[in-house]
Amino acid sequence: MVLTRSFVRAKQPCSDGFRWFVRQFDEGGHYQELLDKMVAAGRVGDACWLLQQFGPTGEVRVVDAIEADAIVFAGTLQVRGSVDVEGVIHVGRSLHAGGGLRVGGDLTVGEDLRVEGGVRGEGRIDIGGDLRAGWGVDCAGELRCRGEARIGWDLHCAGRLRLDGGACVGLDLHGKDDIRCSKGLQVGGELIAEAGLRAEQGITAGGSIHAALHLEAGWGIKAGAVVEAGGAIRVGEGLHAGEAIRAGAGYGVFAGLGVHMEAWEASARVSAPHRPEGLMSGWWAGPVAC
> If pLDDT is split at 50, 70 and 90, which confidence band does 1 have?
low
Strand partners, 215: 197, 233
- Angstrom CA distances, 216 to 108, 169, 207, 238, stand at 29, 19, 17, 12
Q: What does the pLDDT look like over 65-88, one tens digit per residue?
A: 999 999 999 999 999 999 999 999
Mean pLDDT score across all residues of the chain? 92
3-state class (DSSP) for residue 92: coil
Whether the Cβ atoms of residue 53 and residue 71 lie closer than 8 Å to each other: no
The pLDDT value given to residue 14: 55
Q: What does the pLDDT look like over 95-141, one tens digit per residue?
A: 999 999 999 999 999 999 999 999 999 999 999 999 999 999 999 99
The answer, yes or no, to whether residue 159 has pLDDT greater than 80, is yes
The answer, yes or no, to whether residue 4 has pLDDT greater than 90, is no
The pLDDT value given to residue 54: 83
Q: What angle (nearest 5°) sits at the alpha carbon of residue 185, between those of residues 182 and 187?
A: 160
Q: What does the pLDDT look like over 40-71, one tens digit per residue?
A: 888 898 889 889 888 899 999 999 999 999 99
| pTM of the full structure | 0.90
Q: What does the pLDDT look like over 209-253, one tens digit per residue?
A: 999 999 999 999 999 999 999 999 999 999 999 999 999 999 999
